[in-house]
């Protein structure tokens, strides 16, 4: 698991080391210089002879960059330092002694123009303008400098390599927001541990490749992270794998109330996601047309009421009042009375305005940004889709606190929030996943995982939940999002690490569902 810690937690972990006179800055600077050299080699450049521009603000980040510049100069780089704040005295002395050419722009009438001139013939830009203590948008003149460099980078995307120190300057360090201009990085070298803004959207999209430099912050090992990202090993540990003594009821039975006469395909897609995820049975309850379609595609689906361990309610059901929405409401009331975990998607979310107001964390909501905005507005928090897109983590957490439920906010990076505990941010998907019906598949997958743990989550098994069992629904939702994203990449013909962009081939929602077993084979071995 990748764990991100807040700026305050990182500073608290640093305090005893600084009191003991541990050379944190020297360690960080050496790591930064090493990562800059590695970035040059990855792009096919020699380290010796490369031109490096240090963008140096005040504070410790600027000190890290200046000491790193001294290391690089001794390795043969031609290093320039543009000072845009009060420079760290020790770092400046070390850089000057090593032959770094220092350009003091603190009193320059046009610092943005001067920086652009230096940047024009530099192969690497090291962004050390502000660190994790910064809050809000960059102030002038840094805002103009960053805006000019970002424009230059956008016009020449194959130009200089940008390496950010700790975080790209200007991002919301703890919440992943973009309050003002930010210089997108190719690599972010973060000290001690990732910061939340490096995992959370939209800022995470500007961080590039995140590399953690170990500076000895061992105190963070026992600290509760602010944001987590599950890895393949975490999913392998969580995923229910049947043994010789299992049968269809012990593997999990999912009740599915999805689809309508208007949107019958949603029922097929949700069933496909659930079945490919590996549960024992799907029970589908719906009108004649979607029932016929589900049976035509999946004859193993049972279309009569009976025992279930979890429910998926709402895919393909419109938010407007109808007979079908009434059926969803009745199913939700029954599921809550039986203490069964539930996934609420699409039309089922409209029930949370006034009717169902106090939910347990075993209810997982799966909205997109527009649906989350509507839900929050209905609960008295006037919110637009743009508000949610600008601060996904904040609004997902707010919805979890207001409703009591676990919230899976769908997006290029999927954010999962419970009323307490860490956020989860999963970014395995490809842009091709933004296609109709993909959310129905994901709802079925989340429901299948909840069904696999359904009796445990309902408290009906002997023994207590594990010590972190209160956060289990959020972890299961994040695990489903990870596999959903990897299945999309498999369907698109993509391999290796997830990267931004449109590589690969188009996929449909059913392609994604069909690729789930292959994605699981790669994880489960």
Residue 404, domain CATH? 3.40.1190.20
Residue 162, preceding bond cis, omega within 30 degrees? no
* Predicted local distance difference test score (pLDDT) of residue 495: 76
Same domain, 237 and 376: yes
Total number of domains in the chain: 2
Instruction: Please check if 405 is assigned to a binding site.
Output: no
Instruction: Please check if 280 is assigned to a binding site.
Output: no
- Name the domain boundary from 226, 259, 284: 226
Instruction: Please check if 221 is assigned to a binding site.
Output: no
Helix or strand run (H / E) with residue 165 = strand 161-165
Per residue, the 3-state secondary structure of 317-348, as one string, reads: CCCCCCHHHHHHHHHHHHHHHCCCCEEECHHH
Does residue 188 lie within any of the structural domains? yes
Instruction: Please check if 396 is assigned to a binding site.
Output: no
Residue 468, pLDDT > 70, answer: no
Residue 460, pLDDT > 70, answer: no
Same domain, 213 and 236: no
* Predicted local distance difference test score (pLDDT) of residue 498: 55
Does residue 97 lie within any of the structural domains? yes
Residue 311, pLDDT > 60, answer: yes
* Predicted local distance difference test score (pLDDT) of residue 493: 93
Mean of pLDDT values over 212-222: 91
Does residue 448 lie within any of the structural domains? yes
From the list 206, 183, 213, 194, the residue with the least C-alpha distance to 34 is 213
pLDDT tens digits, 257-291: 999 988 999 999 999 999 999 999 999 999 999 99
Instruction: Please check if 60 is assigned to a binding site.
Output: yes
Instruction: Please check if 411 is assigned to a binding site.
Output: yes
Instruction: Please check if 139 is assigned to a binding site.
Output: no
Instruction: Please check if 316 is assigned to a binding site.
Output: yes
Does residue 452 lie within any of the structural domains? yes
Same domain, 33 and 129: yes
Does residue 502 lie within any of the structural domains? no
Same domain, 215 and 309: no
- Name the domain boundary from 226, 259, 293: 226
* Predicted local distance difference test score (pLDDT) of residue 356: 84
Instruction: Please check if 64 is assigned to a binding site.
Output: yes
| Dist. CA 148–CA 143, nearest whole Å | 9
Largest CA distance in the chain: 81
Instruction: Please check if 166 is assigned to a binding site.
Output: yes
* Predicted local distance difference test score (pLDDT) of residue 88: 94
Same domain, 179 and 255: no
Instruction: Please check if 413 is assigned to a binding site.
Output: yes
* Predicted local distance difference test score (pLDDT) of residue 459: 76
Instruction: Please check if 137 is assigned to a binding site.
Output: yes
Mean of pLDDT values over 306-333: 91
Instruction: Please check if 127 is assigned to a binding site.
Output: yes
Same domain, 291 and 353: yes
> What burial letters (b/e) apply to 386-424, b meaning 16+ CB within 10 Å?
ebbbbbbbbbbbbbbebbbbbbbbbbbbbbbbbbebbbb
Which of 35-44, 319-328, 491-500 comes out lowest in average pLDDT?
491-500
Answer for the pair 117, 111: CB distance below 8 angstroms, yes or no.
Answer: no
Residue 467, pLDDT > 90, answer: no
Instruction: Please check if 171 is assigned to a binding site.
Output: no
Residue 181, pLDDT > 70, answer: yes
Mean of pLDDT values over 181-207: 97
* Domain span holding position 36: 2-226
| Dist. CA 271–CA 286, nearest whole Å | 12
Instruction: Please check if 412 is assigned to a binding site.
Output: yes
Residue 265 to residues 14, 276, 310, Cα–Cα distance (Å)? 54, 17, 21
Instruction: Please check if 131 is assigned to a binding site.
Output: yes
Please give the share of the chain, as a percent, with pLDDT higher than 90: 85
Residue 390 to residues 121, 159, 342, 387, Cα–Cα distance (Å)? 34, 28, 28, 5
Q: What is the CATH number of the domain that holds 101?
A: 3.40.50.10260
Mean of pLDDT values over 86-96: 95
* Predicted local distance difference test score (pLDDT) of residue 496: 62
- Name the domain boundary from 226, 261, 284: 226
Mean of pLDDT values over 236-250: 92
pLDDT band with cut points at 50, 70 and 90 for residue 504: confident
β-sheet with 209-213: strand ranges across:
101-104, 78-83, 51-56, 124-128, 161-165, 187-191, 209-213
Does residue 367 lie within any of the structural domains? yes
From the list 378, 382, 333, the residue with the least C-alpha distance to 359 is 333
Residue with the two structure tokens 């770094």: 100
Same domain, 376 and 417: yes
Same domain, 182 and 258: no
pLDDT tens digits, 332-377: 999 999 999 999 999 999 999 877 888 999 999 999 999 999 999 9
Helix or strand run (H / E) with residue 290 = helix 288-297
| Dist. CA 472–CA 478, nearest whole Å | 10
Q: Which residue has the higher pLDDT, 218 or 383?
A: 383
Residue 70, pLDDT > 60, answer: yes
Instruction: Please check if 410 is assigned to a binding site.
Output: yes
Does residue 462 lie within any of the structural domains? no
* Predicted local distance difference test score (pLDDT) of residue 57: 94
Residue with the two structure tokens 């598949």: 441
* Predicted local distance difference test score (pLDDT) of residue 58: 87
Same domain, 52 and 138: yes
* Predicted local distance difference test score (pLDDT) of residue 462: 37
Same domain, 301 and 157: no
* Predicted local distance difference test score (pLDDT) of residue 319: 80
pLDDT tens digits, 22-42: 999 999 999 999 999 999 999
Instruction: Please check if 164 is assigned to a binding site.
Output: no
Same domain, 273 and 209: no
Mean of pLDDT values over 293-297: 96
Answer for the pair 384, 370: CB distance below 8 angstroms, yes or no.
Answer: no
| Dist. CA 99–CA 419, nearest whole Å | 53
Triad 440, 492, 372: Cα angle to 5°? 35
Helix or strand run (H / E) with residue 103 = strand 101-104
Does residue 199 lie within any of the structural domains? yes
Please give the share of the chain, as a percent, with pLDDT higher than 70: 97
Residue with the two structure tokens 């069964």: 340
| Dist. CA 407–CA 416, nearest whole Å | 6
Same domain, 259 and 212: no
């Amino acid at each position: 698991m990748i764990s991100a810690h807040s700026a305050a937690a990182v500073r608290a972990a640093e305090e005893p080391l600084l009191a003991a006179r541990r050379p944190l800055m020297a360690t960080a600077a050496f790591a930064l210089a090493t990562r800059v050299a590695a970035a040059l080699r990855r792009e096919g450049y020699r380290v010796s002879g490369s031109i490096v521009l240090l963008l140096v603000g005040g504070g410790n980040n600027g000190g890290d960059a200046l000491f790193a510049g001294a290391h690089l100069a001794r390795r043969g780089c031609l290093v320039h330092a543009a000072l845009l704040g009060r420079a760290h005295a020790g770092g400046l002395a070390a850089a000057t002694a090593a032959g770094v050419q220092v350009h003091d722009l603190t009193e320059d009438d046009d610092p943005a123009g001067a920086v652009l001139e230096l940047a024009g013939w530099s192969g690497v830009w090291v962004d050390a303008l502000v660190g994790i203590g910064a809050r809000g948008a960059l102030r002038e003149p840094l805002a103009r400098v960053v805006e000019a460099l970002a424009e230059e980078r956008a016009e020449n995307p194959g130009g200089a390599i940008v390496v950010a120190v700790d975080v790209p300057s200007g991002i919301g360090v703890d919440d992943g927001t973009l309050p003002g201009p930010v210089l997108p990085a190719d690599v972010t070298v973060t000290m001690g541990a990732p910061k939340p803004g490096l995992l959370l959207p939209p800022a995470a999209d500007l961080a590039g490749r995140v590399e953690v430099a170990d500076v000895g912050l061992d105190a963070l090992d026992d600290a509760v992270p602010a944001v987590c990202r599950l890895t393949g090993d975490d999913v392998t540990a969580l995923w229910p794998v049947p043994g010789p003594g299992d049968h269809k009821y012990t593997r999990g039975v999912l009740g599915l109330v999805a689809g309508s006469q208007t949107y019958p395909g949603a029922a097929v897609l949700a069933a496909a996601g659930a079945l490919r995820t590996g549960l024992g049975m799907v029970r589908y309850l719906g009108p004649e047309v979607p029932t016929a379609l589900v049976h035509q595609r999946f004859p193993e689906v049972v279309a009569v009421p009976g025992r279930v361990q979890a429910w998926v309610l709402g895919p393909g059901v419109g938010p407007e009042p109808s007979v079908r929405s009434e059926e969803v409401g009745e199913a939700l009331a029954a599921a809550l009375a039986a203490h069964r975990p539930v996934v609420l998607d699409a039309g089922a979310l409209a029930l949370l305005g006034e009717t169902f107001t106090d939910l347990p964390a075993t209810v997982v909501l799966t909205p997109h940004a527009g649906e989350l905005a509507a839900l929050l507005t209905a609960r008295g928090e006037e919110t637009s889709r743009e508000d949610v897109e600008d601060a996904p983590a904040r609004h997902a957490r707010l919805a979890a606190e207001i409703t009591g439920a676990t919230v899976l906010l769908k997006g290029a990076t999927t954010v999962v929030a419970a009323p307490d505990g860490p956020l989860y941010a999963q970014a395995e998907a490809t842009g091709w996943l933004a296609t109709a019906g993909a959310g129905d598949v994901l709802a079925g997958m989340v429901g299948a995982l909840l069904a696999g743990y359904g009796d445990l989550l309902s408290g009906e098994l002997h023994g207590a939940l594990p010590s972190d069992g209160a956060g289990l629904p959020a972890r299961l939702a994040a695990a489903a999002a990870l596999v959903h994203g990897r299945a999309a990449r498999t369907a698109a013909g993509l391999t290796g690490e997830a990267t931004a962009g449109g590589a690969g081939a188009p996929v449909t929602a059913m392609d994604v569902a069909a690729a789930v077993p292959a994605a699981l084979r790669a994880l489960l071995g």
